[in-house]
Structure 1
Amino acid sequence: MSESGERYVSAVTRPHIEPGRLFIGGQWRVAESKGRRDVVDPSTGTVITTVAEADAADLDAAVDAARGAFEGWARTPGRVRARILHRVADVIREREDELVAVESVDVGKPVTLSRAVDVATAAEEYEYYSALAQSVDGATRQIPVPSHAYTRREPLGVVGAITPFNFPLILSSSKIAPALAAGNTVVHKPAEDTPLSALLMAEILAEAGVPDGVVNVVTGGGAVGEALLRHPGVDKIAFTGSTRVGKLAAAVASQSLKPVTMELGGNAAQIVFEDADLDKAIGSVIKGFVFNTGQFCMGGPRLLVHRSLHDTVLEILSQAVAGVPLGDPFDPATVIGPMTAARHLENVETYVAIAREDGGRIVTGGERLELGGGYYYKPTVIAGLANDSRAVQEEIFGPVLTVQSFDTEDEAVELANSTAYGLASGLCTNDLARAHRVAARLQAGIVWVNDWAMLDPAVPFGGVKQSGYGREYGPEGLEPYTKVKSVVISLA
């Protein structure tokens, strides 16, 4: 590891992430469980620190703390909640260097990405929902009987937030910020591989003035997540993760009729039409599949290119992709870091092997990069696969791009919609009418035109088909954290 890397590692081995402690009721508590879990630096394969493996008693304590804090937080005026959430955004920016350090060493994310995307976005999420906290309003309704009728939007209660390993800071903030804005309290279970920013954010939320018990953090593996899904004291589940686990989570939550929002897997297509600006299109294509080392549910791992451009695009990609800086995430020049865990690296290798068996041609990449014991895989472009290959149809979740050709607009849309997923999609064209026409036909929660991963807290995203249901971001992202009550007063 570089000297800068050593400095980042030292930044996360601090008392606020002391092994064995959980954040419950506004306090750092030693977990009742004696279980511990190692947290590994994916750039070296070495252990950074350990965290608690929470058990049922720990989870009960966290839910009790959230329930105890709920009434007071729910009755806190929206303007007061707004000020506190805005202060959270301020403290995130003040402690930017710490958050960058934690996110990069925990996830293997390049520091430039952690700073410009993850930390910046988390601050913007709290800032955006601080504004909406002041406008959680109902409406009056005109009815024919002599009465005064109106609706109220009220918080649900205790929200169980279960978040994934790839964007731990962003995807926890996208749940906690609207939940708090609406007046709910939260028990957060971060991913077992990447829990460190959740622990640091607990400290930041407290510093910003979030009252004790309003946000609680329990660390651990799948058993803790399942217990949170089943807990009778939890009123709603907000989940981001794989489609496989999401189906299990929805089934468990349904047993107690908990409302659930699910942001699940994706396998988006990037369509490059014959009239596209090729320089811009190539940049969008590369960003779409190497962003966050391909560990991005809204990534674009399937390239559909017009047949007239197919060979030209492959030639450009063979040179350009091999030149994308890959290596030490603590080097500011790095664009692609390691995979977050060894099992994710092995999963990518499995799919590339499947592609080879199915007749795929490796245009570039296709193998590990041996570097300092880390979990590195070279960005890979594969051509010549049939559409029914598992390497095309299934979510690889790594820096792998498959390339297919098409002849007509209808064929492009059919190929784009041919998988079980529907989280994101995109196209490159200079024809404005085509952009609108194709966007309307793509089965996805968000469609990007002439670029990739254009995200903002004001613009909702979410899945269709096997990519889940519910929306995050925008006013639409606040609604799942509220319930509507109608009040009708007789005037007779």
Structure 2
Amino acid sequence: MTTETASFTVRRIGEAPAPSLPPFGQFIGGTFVASTSSGTTAVENPATGEVLAQVPAGTVEDVDAAVAAAVAAKTEWAAKTPKERSAVLLRLADIIEDNRELLETLESANTGKPAAVAEDDISSAVDTFRFSAGAARAYTTLGADDYAENHTSVIFREPVGVVGVITPWNYPLLMAAWKIAPILAAGNTMVLKPSGETPLTTLKFAELVAGELPAGVLNVVTGSGGVVGNRISEHPDVDLVAITGSVGSGQKVAASAAGTVKRVHLELGGKAPVVVFDDADLEAAAKGVRSAGFWNGGQECGAACRVLVHESVAQKFTELLVREVSEISVGTPGAGADVEIGSMISGAHYKRVLAALEDVRKDGHTIAVGGNAMEGPGYFIEPTVVTDVPAGAPITYTEIFGPVVSVETFSDDEEAITRANETVYGLAASVWTSNASRSLSVPRRLDFGTVWVNSHLVIANEVPWGGFKGSGYGRDLSIYALEDFSRTKHVMYNRG
């Protein structure tokens, strides 16, 4: 194993802007209230290791109060017309836009994100609400007609009722927006548990929009997954539970929800293959992996983290990729608009990624660039490219969820497709080729919910996002999200 050294240093600023913290408490019934527990959880700035705030360690009683508030609000909210709900969502989008700088600063402080990622997160959250506002007024369904003699059928699309939501730490406000916007647009009320590591922007959002939403429509309870998340999943008055998180977390939610036979919406992990054929634009592919493999520090379920490249161009592609990755800038929030990646989300996750890199070394793979912790405060890891990876190696199927991309080779199209599909995940993949026939045929045979051709990690609100296999089921974004958070009712009128 050989290692190429690159001059990675963490660009730092003397003092970051002070974030505007949300009120202390649980957001229930339209206001912040005291938790029934005196326990708290420390929320950290991972770029410095300093504690930003304390939030309540919520209880079963807190969840019960939040669900009761959502139940009390659901009839009135469901009775609003799509136009009325749409107008509210547009106001929420404007509130995010008007508080952009505040939310970007708070998100960066809580996650270690560089400015470019935080700005994209907030812009995407705004667009999510604006899209859902329009989609609320544009449902399509089976037309009313006589499908049986002398009987007229009408299909109604109704809210499911109260939706429980569990969001992850990698995109705190954006993943909350992906759930809140379509859930409210479809006429539901909700109880949301943000990640215990990154609850601040979700709580701040609740504070900012409290005056625009009827009390109880949106409730936020902080706390652990084992207590708050489990109670949301099992609660008899929660009609559907949606989670974005790990496969293990999704399995626990689905198992807990089974007791009350409630619907489950799972957006789980991924290990996205990037299939680079011999006729691909190699420079474009290398730049694409630089961007999509290391966006948000690789803490992204659709990250371009597993490259399969044709053996005839593998050396050239690897050289290009190593050059690209060697130029990645690492820094703390506020250290410059050109900083590409920041810290890992927490000390615990930092240790997990470093442990995975140690396993890579033990397995005898080549670390072509990076592979080390970075000096100074905060949880920073060098952008890393691992090469000489054989088929079936643990790095080809283990979701590291950090700034690590592996490179393996294949001989022909059949092998590429077979190897790409050899994973428990089925969230996202990409194909890089200049062959028109291949660009049409290969994506159809890849078992992933999203397949890009000659790009990776390009997302739009108009099209669905979600996976197959271990990556879960249900769709975020697009009109499909609103359909997932609603139910159909058939009413048949006898005209005989």
Q: TM-score range by the shorter chain?
A: over 0.9
- Which position in structure 2 is the counterpart of 1:182? 186
Structure 1 residues 412 and 252: CA distance shift in structure 2, 3 A: same
Letter in 2 for 1:353: E
Asked if 2 retains the 8 angstrom alpha-carbon contact of 1:329 and 1:336, the reply is no
Asked if 2 retains the 8 angstrom alpha-carbon contact of 1:122 and 1:169, the reply is yes
- Which position in structure 1 is the counterpart of 2:97? 93
- Which position in structure 2 is the counterpart of 1:210? 213
- Which position in structure 2 is the counterpart of 1:281? 285
Give runs of aligned pairs for residues 316-395 of structure 1, distance below 5 A. Answer: 316-331=320-335, 332-371=337-376, 373-395=377-399
Asked if 1 retains the 8 angstrom alpha-carbon contact of 2:270 and 2:426, the reply is yes
Could you tell me how far 1:137 is from its partner in structure 2? 5.9
Is 2:222 aligned against 1:219? yes
Letter in 1 for 2:301: C
- How much is the aligned-residue C-alpha RMSD, in angstroms? 1.4
**1:127 aligned to which of 116, 127, 130:** 130
Aligned counterparts of 1:354 and 1:144: Cα–Cα separation in 2:
64
Is 2:151 aligned against 1:147? yes
Aligned counterparts of 2:284 and 2:66: Cα–Cα separation in 1:
48
Could you tell me how far 1:91 is from its partner in structure 2? 1.2
Could you tell me how far 1:143 is from its partner in structure 2? 2.1
Asked if 2 retains the 8 angstrom alpha-carbon contact of 1:104 and 1:114, the reply is yes
- Which position in structure 1 is the counterpart of 2:176? 172
Asked if 2 retains the 8 angstrom alpha-carbon contact of 1:137 and 1:153, the reply is no
Aligned counterparts of 1:102 and 1:435: Cα–Cα separation in 2:
41
Deviation readout 1:133-173 (Å, 9 max, x if unpaired): 11346531322331221110000110001000001111111
- Which position in structure 1 is the counterpart of 2:268? 264
Could you tell me how far 1:262 is from its partner in structure 2? 0.3
Q: Secondary structure at the match of 1:234?
A: coil
Aligned counterparts of 1:328 and 1:75: Cα–Cα separation in 2:
47
Q: Secondary structure at the match of 1:282?
A: helix
Asked if 1 retains the 8 angstrom alpha-carbon contact of 2:287 and 2:321, the reply is no
Letter in 1 for 2:173: L
Aligned counterparts of 1:136 and 1:37: Cα–Cα separation in 2:
41
Aligned counterparts of 1:57 and 1:407: Cα–Cα separation in 2:
58
Could you tell me how far 1:387 is from its partner in structure 2? 2.1
Could you tell me how far 1:3 is from its partner in structure 2? 5.4
- Which position in structure 1 is the counterpart of 2:111? 107
- Which position in structure 2 is the counterpart of 1:432? 436
Is 2:73 aligned against 1:69? yes
TM-score of the aligned structures, taking structure 1 as reference length: 0.96
- Which position in structure 2 is the counterpart of 1:11? 19
Is 2:63 aligned against 1:59? yes
Asked if 1 retains the 8 angstrom alpha-carbon contact of 2:12 and 2:331, the reply is no
- Which position in structure 2 is the counterpart of 1:410? 414
Aligned counterparts of 1:312 and 1:52: Cα–Cα separation in 2:
53
Q: Secondary structure at the match of 2:137?
A: helix
Q: Secondary structure at the match of 1:11?
A: coil
Unaligned runs of 5+ in 1: none
Aligned counterparts of 1:137 and 1:429: Cα–Cα separation in 2:
36
Structure 1 residues 382 and 256: CA distance shift in structure 2, 3 A: same
Letter in 1 for 2:238: V
Asked if 2 retains the 8 angstrom alpha-carbon contact of 1:41 and 1:47, the reply is yes
TM-score of the aligned structures, taking structure 2 as reference length: 0.95
Worse-superposed segment, 243-252 or 138-147: 138-147
- Which position in structure 1 is the counterpart of 2:319? 315
Aligned counterparts of 1:85 and 1:104: Cα–Cα separation in 2:
25
Aligned counterparts of 1:419 and 1:146: Cα–Cα separation in 2:
52
Aligned counterparts of 1:316 and 1:480: Cα–Cα separation in 2:
42
Residue identity (%): 37
Deviation readout 1:430-477 (Å, 9 max, x if unpaired): 112211111111110001111111101111011111110111111111
Asked if 2 retains the 8 angstrom alpha-carbon contact of 1:326 and 1:337, the reply is yes
Could you tell me how far 1:2 is from its partner in structure 2? 5.4
Asked if 1 retains the 8 angstrom alpha-carbon contact of 2:13 and 2:332, the reply is no
Q: Secondary structure at the match of 2:270?
A: coil
Asked if 1 retains the 8 angstrom alpha-carbon contact of 2:139 and 2:479, the reply is no
- Structure 1 runs, 4 residues or longer, greater than 6 Å off: none
Aligned counterparts of 2:118 and 2:438: Cα–Cα separation in 1:
35
Letter in 2 for 1:168: P
- Which position in structure 1 is the counterpart of 2:456? 452
Structure 1 residues 128 and 221: CA distance shift in structure 2, 3 A: same
Could you tell me how far 1:5 is from its partner in structure 2? 4.8
Structure 1 residues 137 and 276: CA distance shift in structure 2, 3 A: closer
**1:396 aligned to which of 392, 396, 400:** 400
Higher relative contact order (CA 8 A, sep 6+): 2
Is 2:296 aligned against 1:304? no
Letter in 1 for 2:364: G
Letter in 1 for 2:147: I
Aligned counterparts of 1:135 and 1:314: Cα–Cα separation in 2:
47
Unaligned runs of 5+ in 2: 1-10
**1:238 aligned to which of 219, 239, 242:** 242
Could you tell me how far 1:4 is from its partner in structure 2? 7.4
